[in-house]
Amino acid sequence: MDPHDPHARLHAAALEVLPRAYAPYSNHPVAAAALDDAGTIHTGVNIENAAYGVTLCAECSLISSWRMQHGTALTHLVCLNGAGAYITPCGRCRQLLFEHAPPELSIATANGPVTLHDLLPLAFGPDNLQET
């Protein structure tokens, strides 16, 4: 692991928390880790409940933890499946990231890093909501 590669550091952090995922129904544990511009690593795992198909995604728990810690801007993100391979955030999590991270957030994928802007070129966000 290159200690200077943010995605490699985050991969290790996500692997560390992956066993804490609670996925008894889908058997699909997911872990996420992000780096903010203050150098702090934030992590999250998916948490399911007995209502099939209802889950708190790893990215959701990561964003919740980051917000509670008064996190600064996120700069890098990784999401891993149960085997430790890179996966891209799901649709709901992409929306959540879009609302809480800058467009230049670097997301590790199986094909290499992409920015949030490149992942979501036509995203819908708070600026699209009209006050009524």
59 included as an active-site residue: yes
Tokens of residue 107, six digits: 């997301």
Report the largest interatomic distance among the alpha carbons of the chain, rounded to a whole angstrom. Answer: 51
Q: Spot the catalytic one: 16, 59, 99, 131.
A: 59
CA dist 58 and 44 (Å) reads: 5
41, 13 in Cβ contact below 8 A? yes
- Name residue 132's amino acid: T
Question: What count of residues does the chain have?
Answer: 132
**Strand pairing class (74-80; 106-107):** parallel
Positions marked active-site = 59
